């Protein structure tokens, strides 16, 4: 066969690329055999600067929110959210907490959801009751653990997501106001969830209850379930792991690929890294009860997982999902176009919010007993 | 409350960031309200250059393959894979096709799989038979459509994935050698799948057969199913959509975020864009039978979907999955850490290959009748 000169030169220079590009999964073994700069830890790839439009295929609500978000400033973010002392942490918490408490009240009022405070086993909880309970859920319960990187979300500020779950899934919710650093690092949060869980187990069947939350809440739900199993306690009928902070180290690939692209988290460095160390309080961050991605999911309850293509935690969520599936767990992964960490809970009335919490509701109907 | 000066200044400047970072889903409504550069189409974000190590949490096989892959060169790739004439396309095809035909034979020999050529309804097909058939699959069939961006993979070169499916899922496979451009653009490929499907329907129940493939094969499986429904033909019992080329336009967000990061596809521009136009032959690329992401999935068969965090098509796969779930379809999404487009089929003996085709086999056992 005679090739034009240009094509022959192309084939000579770039055959592995042509091969890889066009017949995926068929000649890919050849990829990586060409000479060039390897991507080891010591010699990583340098990814060029790129332009990133707002995602055309995301929902209108999300796309507009992104279009109106100032371009994430990684260096500025790290500088502004690196806190040196417990006092700086405490100070950084009060303003967002006030906003979140207001949001919880506004959502509750709008959807006619009630929030009442009490205690279970000495731990402060908030009972969140929707206007209408699904007939199938009358005697069931969703046990909610809030997000906030283990530092934010104390008090009423931890309940906006609990209100969403109660409203969309039409189920009773108890949201645990677990203890947090700086005063109470790990294992206080896990201990509080265990204490509440033990108490709830005396009142109702384990499989009639779900456990879960978003971000640190998702991670804490996974870690607490690992702890239940260590203690020989019965596990919930279903888990909700919304973009769970399942690995408190910078290990997942998306921490590199989505840095400066996730509009909510921006970067591992700064607040997240600081919060990880504050929570672990000198312990190895890879301890499974701190970073449940390193735990054993054998025998875990059915788990509903959500993340987004722009989520800094994308890799960590899919790692947990894979590990669960390999362990034989019923694990349902859902990834949203253009969604940064927690956008689905942040954007009230977005299609993402409706889909995530609506489908979570269907998942609970399918798996709670 | 008294804040230290530094903290006060931080809160004043970056409260929305602190808020967004730490209590995800609770104060996120505030994100985007600050002044700054918006990310509209006319004024996208500029994402800085970044260093990207090989993904630590990927399998050893994948991580080493990536570490040994030369850093993707976007500009060079585009230049080298932009073909101007049908002759240049044809020339670019022969070398990878030869490699893929060899790979198919090597895999078949290794796993004692046989490949025999015949015709169904005037269309060339290859019957791929594994050493052992699962007892449940004795009278079932997997109808395979190969990848290759609608230009590569003709002949034996289209069968490596068919061999994998036969071997791992222990099922009879018929792989369709559909017509392709430059000579036969759309709708030849869809027409050929329809012709074979019509013929198979006279011999066995529709729900005893699966349909699917990777990349263009995954897209063609989805498009063909849309066509079956238009024609009133019964649909398969299950679909396999391995990182399907479901949108032939550059719309998905991952086309921007993963450009130069996906080691297999590298960029939409160059070969992929050229192949899209060659296949569509002047038609609107958003035609659902060309880009099934724009189709209506109502009533679709249970579908098994796979992609990876580094896949250029990540967004398009999750868009299809979401659209299916909203339409009430049983759709199972699986995303692999660090995986570029088609890596799972490219890396023989990788954990990714075993998981993908092993779980596909379980999916078929669950859904075929």
- Per residue in B94-142, pLDDT tens? 999 999 999 999 999 999 999 999 999 999 999 999 999 999 999 999 9
Interface probe, candidates A10, A14, A20, A23, chain B, greatest B C-beta count within 10 A: A23
**CA B306 to CA B357: how far, in whole Å?**
10
Angle at B143 (CA atoms; ends B141, B147), nearest 5 degrees: 150
pLDDT at B333: 98
Mean pLDDT check: name the lowest of A332-346, B19-33, B279-293, B325-339: B19-33
B227, pLDDT greater than 50: yes
pLDDT over 70 percentage in chain B? 89
* B271-327 tens-digit pLDDT: 999 999 999 999 999 999 999 999 999 999 999 999 999 999 999 999 999 999 999
pLDDT band per the 50, 70, 90 thresholds, residue B20: very low
Tell me phi and psi for residue A337, to 5 degrees: -60, 125
Mean pLDDT check: name the lowest of A41-50, A65-74, B216-225: A41-50
pLDDT at A43: 74
Tell me phi and psi for residue B73, to 5 degrees: -115, 100
pLDDT at B363: 98
**CA A111 to CA A114: how far, in whole Å?**
9
Mean pLDDT check: name the lowest of A235-249, B3-17, B294-308: B3-17
- Of A6 and B256, which is predicted with more confidence? B256
pLDDT at B41: 59
Q: List, in order, residues 6 or more apart from A147 with CB less than 8 Å away.
A: A153, A161, A213, A214, A215, A216, A217, A218, A242, A245, A342, B23, B24, B25, B26
Q: Is A116 an interface residue toward B (CB < 8 Å)? A: no
Q: List, in order, residues 6 or more apart from B192 with CB less than 8 Å away.
A: B123, B176, B178, B179
Q: How many Cβ atoms are within 10 Å of B131's Cβ, its own excluded?
A: 11
Q: How many Cβ atoms are within 10 Å of A118's Cβ, its own excluded?
A: 10
Q: How many Cβ atoms are within 10 Å of A116's Cβ, its own excluded?
A: 9
Summary mean pLDDT of chain A: 91
**Mean pLDDT within A117-141:** 98
Residue A49, phi-psi category: left (phi > 0), alpha (psi -120 to 50), beta (remainder): beta
Give the CA distances from residue A213 to residues A4, A140, A172, B304, in Å, rounded to whole numbers and listed in that order: 60, 17, 15, 27
Tokens of B310: 């580094």
Pairing state between β A141-145 and A123-129: unpaired
Tokens of B357: 């085709």
Nearest to A54 among B40, B56, B270 (CB): B40
Q: Is A362 an interface residue toward B (CB < 8 Å)? A: no
pLDDT band per the 50, 70, 90 thresholds, residue B24: very low
Tokens of B74: 């976007």
pLDDT at B244: 98
pLDDT band per the 50, 70, 90 thresholds, residue A16: very low
pLDDT at B42: 62
**Which residues of chain A make contact with B71, given a CB cutoff of 8 A?**
36-37, 39, 45-46
Interchain contact, B39 vs A30, CB within 8 Å: no
* A62-106 tens-digit pLDDT: 999 999 999 999 999 999 999 999 899 999 999 999 999 999 999
User: Taking a C-beta distance cutoff of 8 angstroms, is the pair B140, B84 a contact?
Assistant: no
pLDDT band per the 50, 70, 90 thresholds, residue B43: confident
**CA A185 to CA A172: how far, in whole Å?**
29
Q: How many Cβ atoms are within 10 Å of B187's Cβ, its own excluded?
A: 19
How near does any CA of chain A get to the CA of B269, in Å? 11
How near does any CA of chain A get to the CA of B89, in Å? 9
- Of A307 and B26, which is predicted with more confidence? A307
**Element of type H or E holding A80:** helix A74-80
User: Taking a C-beta distance cutoff of 8 angstroms, is the pair B159, B195 a contact?
Assistant: no
Interchain contact, B20 vs A263, CB within 8 Å: yes
Tell me phi and psi for residue B266, to 5 degrees: 65, -55
Pairing state between β B173-176 and B123-129: antiparallel
**Which residues of chain A make contact with B25, given a CB cutoff of 8 A?**
147, 160-161, 214-215, 242, 342, 344-346
Nearest to B345 among A25, A214, A264 (CB): A25
Task: Assign A40 to helix, strand or coil.
Answer: coil
Task: Assign B126 to helix, strand or coil.
Answer: strand
Interface probe, candidates B24, B98, B246, chain A, greatest A C-beta count within 10 A: B24
> Between residues 11 and 40 of chain B, which touch chain A (CB distance below 8 Å)?
11, 13-15, 17-40
> Between residues 283 and 302 of chain B, which touch chain A (CB distance below 8 Å)?
none
pLDDT band per the 50, 70, 90 thresholds, residue A38: low
How near does any CA of chain A get to the CA of B202, in Å? 32
User: What does the DSSP assignment read for A131-176?
Assistant: SS--GGGTT-EEEEE--STTTS--GGGG-HHHHHHHHHHT--EEEE
Q: Is B5 an interface residue toward A (CB < 8 Å)? A: no
How near does any CA of chain B get to the CA of A207, in Å? 24
* A299-336 tens-digit pLDDT: 999 999 999 999 999 999 999 999 999 999 999 999 99
**CA B186 to CA B290: how far, in whole Å?**
7
Tokens of A160: 């906006």
Secondary structure in 3-state letters for B260-295: CCCCCCCCCCCHHHHHHHHHHCCCCCCCCCCCHHHC
Interface probe, candidates B1, B4, B25, chain A, greatest A C-beta count within 10 A: B25
**CA A17 to CA B142: how far, in whole Å?**
30
Interchain contact, A26 vs B100, CB within 8 Å: yes
**Mean pLDDT within A48-55:** 95
Helices B60-67 and B351-367 cross at an angle (nearest 10°) of 130
Tokens of A307: 């993340």
**Mean pLDDT within A182-197:** 98
**CA A305 to CA A222: how far, in whole Å?**
11
**CA B361 to CA B130: how far, in whole Å?**
13
A11, pLDDT greater than 90: no
Nearest to A318 among B47, B319, B336 (CB): B336
> Between residues 45 and 74 of chain A, which touch chain B (CB distance below 8 Å)?
45-58, 65-72, 74
Pairing state between β B303-308 and B331-336: parallel
Nearest to B7 among A7, A74, A92 (CB): A92
B36, pLDDT greater than 90: no
**CA B232 to CA B249: how far, in whole Å?**
28
**Token pair 């349909």: residue:** B211
**CA B258 to CA B44: how far, in whole Å?**
16
**CA B261 to CA B267: how far, in whole Å?**
9
**Element of type H or E holding B353:** helix B351-367
> Between residues 193 and 232 of chain A, which touch chain B (CB distance below 8 Å)?
214-215
pLDDT band per the 50, 70, 90 thresholds, residue A4: very low
Give the CA distances from residue A351 to residues A66, A177, B25, in Å, rounded to whole numbers and listed in that order: 15, 29, 15
pLDDT at B109: 98
Interchain contact, B32 vs A68, CB within 8 Å: yes
Tokens of B26: 């609770």
Q: List, in order, residues 6 or more apart from A145 with CB less than 8 Å away.
A: A175, A176, A178, A189, A193, A211, A212, A213, A216, A217, A220, A221, A224
Mean pLDDT check: name the lowest of A14-18, B138-142, B220-224, B320-324: A14-18
A8, pLDDT greater than 90: no
**CA A298 to CA A222: how far, in whole Å?**
12
pLDDT at A42: 62
Tokens of A270: 């700064």
Sign of the CA dihedral running B69, B73, B74, B79: negative
Residue A95, phi-psi category: left (phi > 0), alpha (psi -120 to 50), beta (remainder): alpha
A276, pLDDT greater than 80: yes
How near does any CA of chain B get to the CA of A10, in Å? 6
**Which residues of chain A make contact with B161, given a CB cutoff of 8 A?**
25-26
Cβ burial B205-224 (10 Å sphere, 16+ → b, else e):
ebbbbbbbbbbbbbbbbbbb
Tokens of A246: 């399942």
Cα A227 off chain centre by: 19
User: Taking a C-beta distance cutoff of 8 angstroms, is the pair A147, A215 a contact?
Assistant: yes
B21, pLDDT greater than 60: no
Cβ burial B294-321 (10 Å sphere, 16+ → b, else e):
bbebeebbbbbbbbbbbbbbbbbbbbbb
Tokens of A14: 């770039």
Q: What is the pTM of this model?
A: 0.93
A37, pLDDT greater than 60: no
**Token pair 């199913």: residue:** B225
Interchain contact, A257 vs B24, CB within 8 Å: no
Interchain contact, A346 vs B103, CB within 8 Å: no
Interchain contact, A147 vs B26, CB within 8 Å: yes
How near does any CA of chain B get to the CA of A197, in Å? 24
**Mean pLDDT within B2-24:** 40
**Which residues of chain B make contact with A257, given a CB cutoff of 8 A?**
50, 52, 257-258, 261, 309-310
**Element of type H or E holding A303:** strand A303-308
pLDDT at A259: 98
Task: Assign A69 to helix, strand or coil.
Answer: coil
User: Taking a C-beta distance cutoff of 8 angstroms, is the pair A210, A364 a contact?
Assistant: yes
Tokens of B218: 């995954």
- Of B173 and A29, which is predicted with more confidence? B173
Residue of chain A minimizing CA distance to B352: A322
Examine the predicted complex and report whether its ipTM is higher than 0.90: yes
């Amino acid at each position: 066969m005679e090739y034009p000169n240009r094509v022959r030169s192309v084939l000579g220079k770039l055959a592995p690329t042509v091969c890889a590009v066009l017949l995926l999964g068929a000649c890919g073994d050849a990829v990586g055999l060409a000479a060039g700069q390897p991507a080891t830890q010591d010699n990583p790839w340098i990814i060029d600067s790129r332009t990133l439009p707002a995602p055309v295929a995301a929902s209108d609500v999300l796309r507009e929110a992104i279009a109106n978000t100032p371009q994430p400033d990684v260096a500025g973010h790290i500088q502004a959210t690196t806190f040196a002392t417990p006092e700086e942490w405490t100070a950084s918490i009060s303003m967002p907490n006030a906003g979140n408490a207001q949001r919880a009240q506004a959502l509750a009022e709008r959807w006619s959801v009630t929030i009442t405070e009490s205690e279970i086993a000495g731990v402060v909880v908030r009972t969140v009751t929707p206007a209408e309970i699904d007939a199938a859920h009358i005697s069931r319960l969703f046990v909610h653990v809030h997000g906030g990187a283990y530092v934010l979300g104390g008090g009423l500020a931890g309940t906006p997501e609990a209100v969403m779950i109660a409203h969309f899934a039409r189920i009773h919710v108890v949201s645990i106001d677990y203890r947090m650093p700086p005063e109470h690092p790990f294992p206080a949060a896990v201990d509080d969830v265990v204490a509440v869980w033990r108490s709830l187990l005396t009142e109702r069947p384990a499989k009639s209850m779900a456990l879960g939350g978003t971000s640190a809440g998702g991670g804490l739900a996974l870690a607490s379930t690992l702890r239940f199993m260590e203690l020989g306690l019965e596990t919930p009928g279903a888990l909700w792991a919304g973009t769970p902070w399942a690995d408190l180290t910078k290990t997942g690939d998306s921490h590199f690929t989505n840095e400066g692209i996730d509009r909510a988290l921006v970067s591992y460095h700064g607040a997240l890294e600081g919060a990880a160390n504050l929570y672990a309080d000198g312990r190895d961050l890879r301890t499974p009860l701190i970073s449940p991605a390193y735990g054993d999911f054998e025998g875990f309850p059915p788990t509903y997982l959500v993340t987004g293509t722009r989520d800094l935690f994308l890799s960590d969520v899919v790692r947990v999902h894979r590990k669960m599936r390999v362990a034989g767990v019923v694990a349902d992964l859902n990834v949203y176009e253009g969604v940064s960490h927690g956008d689905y809970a942040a954007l009230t009335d977005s299609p993402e919010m409706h889909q995530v919490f609506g489908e979570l509701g269907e998942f609970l109907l399918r798996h709670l007993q």
